Structure 1
Amino acid sequence: MLNLALGAMEYGTRIDEQTSFRLLDEYVDAGGEWIDTANCYAFWQDPSGHGGQSEELLGRWLAQRPGVRDRVKLATKVGCEPLWPGSWPEHSEGLGAQAIDAALETSLRRLGVDHIDLYWAHRDDRTAPLEETVAAFGKHAAAGTIGRLGLSNWALWRVERMRDLANQLGVMAPSALQLRYSYLQPRPFVRDHIHDHRFGWITDEVLDYAENNPEQQLFAYSPLMSGGFENRTDRPIDPAFDHPGTTRRLEALTDLAESLGTTRSAVVLAWLAGGTPAVTPIVGISTPDYLTTALTGTRLTLTPDQRRQLDEVW
């Protein structure tokens, strides 16, 4: 299977149903397995101010393709749905037991399935007792409605505290982490300015943690920086990455991509998927060309020398 997840965040809102279905079909036919969404996608693009459109579209796609459910793994999230239109991020559903119960029931109904393969806590909720959150996820895992539990945008010390509590309670512990990551690195202490999540970035500490805890699978969102690697004038690289290291890394990336006859984006995906520890990139695929890039990158194997060419640039 491809070490790639299809990000369906904008399916059902910005990306229309016909295009979404085509991309999903082509992804699965190419050997793709993971499809990643969230119960809050995409509240900022829908007039209602609430999410659910992506899950609903995926449910319609699955219903019209008997047997395809057995070929894919579904990942969705709980925790960030606004309580009312415009209330994000100050007021969202959070991770209390009632919120988790209601969100999971709704996601299962929208998707038309009896279980979620990987259920993400979308962000930490420090207003909810962690014991309550752990017990709620554990209850659904024991019932078979959650196959695995993952944490997105959590500080590592909270990840470990949750794992310890899960072990004490004898319930499922998290086995996946989802954070933002790419070949370029932002300047220190500006990470909360490039995304809504303070701890939403894979750092050296996270990589070391995953390498020494192999049961923890790493997923990376926004690996292609919204098209920033392809010199798109409408998608400039965020100012948080404006430093000499970015210039040097882009030069190395360009040299390697040209020598391989491929794109910089494809090389970035190969670098992520084939590294140690391996990172599963989540790519928001909106056009057939993006899908081709994603497939090319995850099928590309970099030699040790080529990886050094990229890694030794600081």
Structure 2
Amino acid sequence: MKYRTIGTDPARSREVSVLSLGAMLFGTATDEKTAFAILDRYVEAGGTFVDTSDNYAFWQSGSVGGESETLLGNWRRSRGIGDEIVIATKLGAAPLAPGTSYVDNAEGLSAAAIRSAVAGSKARLGLERLDLLYAHIPDPKVELAETVGEFGALVNEGTVGLLGVSNQWAWQVERARALARGEGLPGYEVLQYQHSYLRHRIDTPCELSPDGVLSTADGNLLSMVRAERDLTLVAYSPLLGGAYVRDDKPLSAGHDHGSTQPRLAALRDVAKSAGATVNQVVLAWMIGAQVPAIPLVGASSVAQIEESLAAVDLELTEDERARLNSV
């Protein structure tokens, strides 16, 4: 395994594995026995960075959200896991009532909602301190200063270690960081966005914004990570839900544009020359990119996490990277 540091304050920064494991469906679509086996293999291979959220996975039949955190808490206790494993969680997007949507009935990012969500996550995870806490989605009903102030207070109290943000426009991220700097508070240092080798269109409206897709790491966001050395990019859905390799998992409409097929051809060509799977090349490309990202991979079997783990040791040649980057 390889590692990198997230956060810049020596008192709060953490060394994490360059491959993160997503626990979104653990405890719902992925049963406890399978989830425990995946987690055990990930940790055995040196993995130290697990991701969840307080709303995972409310959309699954019979679920209300929080099942993933509960499973991780049970796994930690059963295995005697301490602070050697960094668990990141998110708040703000849990529906307030069963059967409702996070789009129009989310817990939100008010100070009171944040306090309540943090208490719930700590209890389910069995943690006194949350290693990394993300604002999951924007909350247009709450002033950004209120959210920033409460997040900063949680860090200063020692309740939270590092702060992150997901699914917000680059200008919102920078405005929040500027507010935190102005108040002398800890601010967002980890950005979690959808990012992969294939580029996703950002010009189509989405359920959270009429202005386009705000969940994708576009040029504005990547440029910010390149310029601001205290930022880390965590890339969710790097393997596009299996769409790179499975005929039954078609690419989304957001990938229906001119660069997709040429980039797929380059990817397959490099996979052949590297003696690796297409998925492994995608992950290796991201880990070693000029603007590196920490891929956040899901797995529903031990075999799937084994394939992803092998990508950490895949070293693409300069020629292979050039072929991938030139398309």
TM-score (norm 1): 0.95
What is the aligned counterpart of 1:236 among 232, 242, 250?
A: 250
CA distance in 1, matches of 2:198, 2:56: 26
What is the aligned counterpart of 1:13 among 20, 28, 48?
A: 28
CA distance in 2, matches of 1:187, 1:207: 15
**Aligned AA (2:272):** E
2:55 match: secondary structure: coil
Please, which runs of 5 or more residues in structure 1 have no aligned partner?
Answer: none
Query: For structure 1, which segment, 265-274 or 283-292, has the greater mean C-alpha deviation from structure 2 after superposition?
Result: 283-292
CA distance in 2, matches of 1:259, 1:195: 41
Aligned to 2:242: 227
**Kept in 2: contact 1:194–1:240 (CA 8 A):** no
CA distance in 1, matches of 2:317, 2:221: 24
1:204 aligns with 2:219: yes
CA distance in 2, matches of 1:154, 1:194: 9
1:33 aligns with 2:41: no
1:267 aligns with 2:281: yes
The alpha-carbon distance between structure 1 residues 25 and 82, as it changes in their structure 2 partners (threshold 3 A), is same
Aligned to 1:95: 109
1:293 aligns with 2:307: yes
CA distance in 2, matches of 1:102, 1:194: 23
Give, in angstroms, the shift of residue 107 of structure 1.
Answer: 0.3
**Kept in 2: contact 1:270–1:302 (CA 8 A):** yes
Correspondence list, 1:116-195, <5 A:
116-190=130-204, 192=206
**Aligned AA (2:43):** V
Give, in angstroms, the shift of residue 264 of structure 1.
Answer: 0.5
The alpha-carbon distance between structure 1 residues 303 and 189, as it changes in their structure 2 partners (threshold 3 A), is same
CA deviation digits over 1:62-121, x for unaligned, max 9? 01111x223210100000000112221211000000100000000000000111111000
Give, in angstroms, the shift of residue 35 of structure 1.
Answer: 0.2
1:86 aligns with 2:86: no
CA distance in 2, matches of 1:5, 1:248: 28
CA distance in 1, matches of 2:55, 2:184: 30
CA distance in 2, matches of 1:76, 1:223: 18
The alpha-carbon distance between structure 1 residues 107 and 91, as it changes in their structure 2 partners (threshold 3 A), is same
Q: Percent identity?
A: 41
The alpha-carbon distance between structure 1 residues 40 and 195, as it changes in their structure 2 partners (threshold 3 A), is farther
Give, in angstroms, the shift of residue 126 of structure 1.
Answer: 1.6
CA distance in 1, matches of 2:208, 2:91: 22
The alpha-carbon distance between structure 1 residues 102 and 46, as it changes in their structure 2 partners (threshold 3 A), is farther
TM-score (norm 2): 0.91
**Kept in 2: contact 1:222–1:282 (CA 8 A):** yes
CA distance in 2, matches of 1:54, 1:278: 27
CA distance in 2, matches of 1:304, 1:233: 30
What is the aligned counterpart of 1:76 among 60, 64, 89?
A: 89
CA distance in 2, matches of 1:139, 1:207: 28
Query: For structure 1, which segment, 286-295 or 91-100, has the greater mean C-alpha deviation from structure 2 after superposition?
Result: 286-295
**Kept in 1: contact 2:195–2:216 (CA 8 A):** yes
**Kept in 2: contact 1:191–1:240 (CA 8 A):** no
**Kept in 2: contact 1:17–1:57 (CA 8 A):** yes
1:44 aligns with 2:67: no
Aligned residues: 310
Give, in angstroms, the shift of residue 136 of structure 1.
Answer: 0.9
CA deviation digits over 1:201-227, x for unaligned, max 9? 111221111111010000111100000
